[in-house]
Amino acid sequence: MVDKLQVYKQALIHLQAASIVTLTDDVEARYVLDNAWTGVVEEAFSAGDWNAFKVSVALEESVTGTAALGWAYVFDYPDDYSRTVAVSNVPDFRSGFREYADEGGYLHSNTNPMFLRYISKTKMTDVDTWPTMFWRYVAVKLAFETVGKLTSGDTLEAKLDKKLDKALRKAKSVDARNENNKVIGTGSWLRARQGGYGYGDGYGRGGTLVGGEISPGEGDV
């Protein structure tokens, strides 16, 4: 089980710097890592739709918000909401639903109920729940963000830049192995090949069943 101290120690290894013993060590490295921590973690969470940090819920109709013009219903986001992964009118998120708007801190739709899959802010502070490849990616990112403060080597910064890209790809790859198959929309190239209908399965649901992280409109050219 990882903790914040272990992430710091790994970052310092990447920086080729002296380690620390506790999170209260009175040394420059600890203060620099402290200052960089929040921004680095937020950026790391934004770097992918991490399965370990997703939460799916049925949204509650808001008692304080007012539906925006053109919409019939308004919904509150969960208290620990960070960013949206998917919105749907069905709980299995299989439909390609787009009839909603994010406006004024609420979600608006003409459909009720509504379902939201999102990245939870609570997970940002629960370091002990972070998967191995993710926290190792955070450690490299932490080192890269602080290399200018804690070292004076341009060569090390260039090396960390390469390590950072590799660590992110590896973290995403491992994370994707735990994801079940899902449907993706047909891209423009396949739609042209299919006469412009854009239905990969013949039933209007689009796309091919695949595993792992998908970009909307995959297959576009």
CB atoms within 10 A of CB 204: 10
Domain ranges for the chain, please list them. Answer: 4-49+131-177, 52-123, 180-221
Residue 55 — φ and ψ, nearest 5°?
-135, 140
pTM exceeding the 0.85 threshold for the entire prediction: no
Q: What is the pLDDT of residues 58-69, one digit of tens each?
A: 999 999 999 999
CA dist 13 and 23 (Å) reads: 16
Alpha helices, DSSP H, located in 105-195:
122-125, 132-150, 154-177, 188-193
Q: What is the pLDDT of residues 74-104, one digit of tens each?
A: 999 999 999 999 999 999 998 788 999 999 9
Residue pair 217/188 in contact by the 8 Å Cβ criterion:
yes
Angle at 20 between CA 15 and CA 24, to 5 degrees: 125
CA dist 221 and 89 (Å) reads: 30
Q: What is the pLDDT of residues 142-186, one digit of tens each?
A: 999 999 999 977 789 999 999 999 999 999 999 988 665 454 444
